[in-house]
């Protein structure tokens, strides 16, 4: 494994394996102007999307222009993960201003919903998992496109319409269905995909029962027409005929929704300063709530900062400490994070260095904590969360020739969203990211309960990391439901603490420690559609070796294999000489390509 001198610059390392490093780390994030010395790079989940982004960069577009091209293409060739009808969080580093911005395109709930949104009206209990997803109730007002337009107003160089041309051309001429898309169509055909007439016509052969296979050439004329409408009007999904079609589709049975044109007209994306904290003198910047990804990733890092992870390494002890910190980070985010416009989110208290040091003091090197619960960074009480998990989503990252940097995570939530299709794109089921319960068993209110106009909590965790001198160092992020948090934290630890290249950090085992057990991935294209984990069997590719598993179990951890906890990490790393190297997760179909 390579040790990058830039990674270790200014970072003192302790000799004692399980004590806090003696580095004189500043608690104040440091971000400076970074001189651009490379022509640019794109890393995305599908080769066609990567190429679309590169084409726009080579045409003189900015990283934000290229992001529009990548998202437009992903919605076509990876509809199971993201699309025009979904939402996103995007982190942008502006090197000229030495600022990092967080753009929020998270969906909002209609004004007419009630807190009982996902409770069965007959029993009063939470709906069954897929009943909630494949319903009209699950769709929120889509925000990804207007969020990108907001960023384009700030940083676009090309005309708004130009970045959509590659996707329009591909939609009209057709593309080859990839193994991942073909595999997901086949799997979902046995669940709910195909109940919707538009989706059935698109994802099935002419007989209406046979899923389109891998290798099938699929065109999408309605998608091209939708993109042309967006070229003419960035709010085309929120007003006019496409908006009316979305509303009509959500109002179909089963479980019709309540979205109206007024809900769509009221929607606005948001821009704030990114959430930035320090980790071993590096500055780590992510999304603000209602994304929990920024808080949770930085909480995990804040706990680990109290241990010498470099000395522990990717060993039983290293993974033990990573797991314990993850249990804590997940427990806190589950309890406290929701839409800050509706609920007080104690972000500063949750990331306070002294608070995280007190959490770290609970970790023992010789035994796992028996029952990790949320801490008490604030005085008020929150209920125990009851939000279901839907692994999915897509992540991409771009740096242009001027150094403008994008790290963006985008989603329609579950595989193929709500299973309903309009204008060649899938509608989201983002509202199932709300808790299905309003109160916990003790009667305490749950922070992430549904409410009118509220944005559901997200796990998306796009990040940009800066070296101790304040210059851009790398970007990272992943799809994967709530496991996004573990995937992203792992990549940061891998590069900063364990001196790995981006690709080596990506290919580390995925260790997801949440709700009392450690889940390990096995190789596959997508998660199986089940909540039931299996006992860890023989070590799988990209998985922990059996000796490490045994060591974790000896410490008291419950280690399980989750069928296909599949990350899709994409990273761009800036070397000390300004050159760029990238990494793409081999568990999916992504590529990372630099302009030469």
Burial class of residue 221 in the structure, from the number of CB atoms within 10 Å of its CB (0-12 exposed, 13-18 middle, 19+ buried): exposed
Strands 394-399 and 41-44: antiparallel
Choose, from 11, 170, 250, 393, the residue flagged as catalytic: 393
For residues 309 and 13, the answer to whether their CB atoms sit within 8 Å is no
Strand partners, 217: 176
Backbone torsions φ then ψ of 408, nearest 5 degrees: -135, 130
- Residue 393 annotated in active site: yes
For residues 117 and 386, the answer to whether their CB atoms sit within 8 Å is no
Using DSSP's 3-state secondary structure scheme, residue 97 falls into: coil
Task: Give the tokens for residue 104.
Answer: 């929020």
Backbone torsions φ then ψ of 137, nearest 5 degrees: -70, -20
Long-range Cβ contact pairs of 438-444 (< 8 A, separation 24 or more): 438/115, 438/116, 439/383, 440/383, 440/384, 440/385, 440/386, 441/384, 442/383, 442/384, 443/383, 444/381, 444/382, 444/383, 444/384
Task: Give the tokens for residue 472.
Answer: 């851009």
For residues 39 and 595, the answer to whether their CB atoms sit within 8 Å is yes
Beta strands in 496-541 (DSSP E): 511-514, 517-520, 534-535
- Beta-carbon contacts of 385 under 8 Å, excluding residues fewer than 6 positions away, are 334, 335, 435, 440, 446, 447, 448
Strand partners, 126: 119
Beta strands in 280-383 (DSSP E): 282-286
Beta strands in 95-183 (DSSP E): 99-104, 175-176
What sign results for the dihedral spanned by CA atoms 44, 398, 285, 495? positive
Q: How far is CA 591 from CA 183, 311, 354, 554, in A?
A: 19, 32, 40, 38
Q: What angle do CA 523, 524, 525 make, to 5 degrees?
A: 145
Q: Respond yes or no on whether the N-terminal peptide bond of residue 511 is cis (omega within 30° of 0).
A: no
As a whole number of Å, the end-to-end CA separation of the chain is 26
Strand partners, 570: 584
Return the C-alpha torsion angle 276, 590, 510, 64, nearest 10: 10
Catalytic site residues? 393
């Amino acid at each position: 494994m390579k040790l990058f001198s830039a990674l270790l610059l200014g970072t003192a390392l302790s000799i004692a394996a399980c004590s806090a490093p003696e580095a004189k780390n500043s608690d104040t994030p440091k971000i400076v102007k970074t001189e651009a010395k490379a022509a640019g790079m794109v890393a995305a989940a599908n080769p066609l999307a990567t190429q679309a982004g590169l084409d726009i960069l080579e045409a003189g577009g900015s990283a934000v222009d290229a992001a529009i091209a990548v998202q437009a293409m992903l919605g076509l060739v990876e509809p199971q993960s993201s699309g025009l009808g979904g939402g996103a969080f995007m982190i942008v580093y502006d090197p000229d201003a030495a600022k990092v911005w967080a753009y929020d395109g998270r969906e909002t709930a209609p004004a007419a919903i009630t807190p009982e949104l996902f409770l069965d009206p007959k029993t009063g209990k939470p709906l069954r998992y897929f009943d909630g997803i494949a319903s009209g109730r699950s769709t929120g007002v889509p925000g990804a496109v207007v969020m990108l337009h907001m960023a384009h107003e700030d940083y676009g160089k090309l005309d708004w319409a130009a970045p959509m041309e590659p996707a329009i051309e591909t939609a009209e001429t057709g593309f080859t269905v990839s193994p991942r898309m073909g595999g997901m169509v086949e799997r979902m055909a046995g669940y709910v995909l195909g109940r919707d007439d538009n989706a059935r016509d698109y994802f099935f052969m002419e007989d209406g029962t046979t899923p389109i296979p891998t290798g099938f050439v699929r065109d999408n004329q309605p998608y091209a027409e939708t993109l042309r409408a967006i070229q003419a009007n960035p709010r085309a999904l929120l007003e006019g005929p496409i908006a009316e079609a979305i509303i009509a589709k959500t109002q179909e049975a089963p479980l019709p929704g309540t979205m109206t044109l007024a809900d769509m007209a009221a929607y606005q994306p948001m821009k704030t300063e990114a959430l930035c904290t320090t980790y071993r003198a590096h500055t780590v910047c992510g999304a603000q709530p209602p994304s929990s990804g920024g808080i949770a990733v930085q909480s995990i890092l804040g706990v680990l900062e109290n241990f010498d992870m470099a000395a522990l390494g990717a060993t039983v002890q290293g993974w033990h400490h990573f797991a314990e910190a993850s249990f804590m980070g997940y427990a806190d985010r589950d309890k406290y994070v929701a839409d800050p416009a509706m609920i007080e989110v104690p972000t500063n208290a949750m990331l306070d260095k002294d608070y995280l040091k007190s959490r770290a003091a609970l970790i023992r090197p010789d035994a796992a904590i028996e029952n990790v619960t949320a801490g008490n960074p604030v005085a008020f009480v929150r209920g125990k969360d009851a939000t279901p998990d839907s692994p999915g989503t897509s992540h991409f990252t771009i740096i242009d020739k001027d150094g403008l940097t994008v790290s963006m995570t985008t989603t329609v939530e579950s595989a193929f969203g709500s299973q309903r299709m309009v204008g060649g794109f899938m509608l989201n089921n983002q509202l199932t990211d709300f808790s299905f319960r309003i109160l916990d068993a003790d009667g305490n209110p749950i922070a992430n309960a549904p409410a009118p106009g509220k944005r559901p909590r997200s796990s998306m965790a796009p990040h940009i990391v800066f070296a101790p001198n304040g210059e851009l160092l790398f970007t990272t992020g992943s799809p994967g439901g709530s496991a996004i948090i573990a995937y992203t934290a792992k990549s940061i630890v891998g590069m900063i603490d364990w001196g790995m290249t981006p690709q080596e950090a990506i290919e580390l085992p995925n260790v997801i420690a949440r709700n009392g057990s450690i889940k390990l991935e096995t190789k596959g294209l997508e998660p199986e559609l089940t909540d039931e984990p299996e006992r860890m069997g023989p070590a799988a590719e990209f998985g922990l070796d059996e000796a490490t598993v045994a060591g974790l179990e000896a410490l008291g951890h419950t280690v399980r294999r989750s069928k296909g906890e599949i990350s899709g990490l994409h990273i761009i790393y800036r070397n000390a000489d300004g050159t760029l190297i990238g990494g793409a997760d081999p568990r999916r179909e992504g590529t990372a390509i630099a302009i030469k």
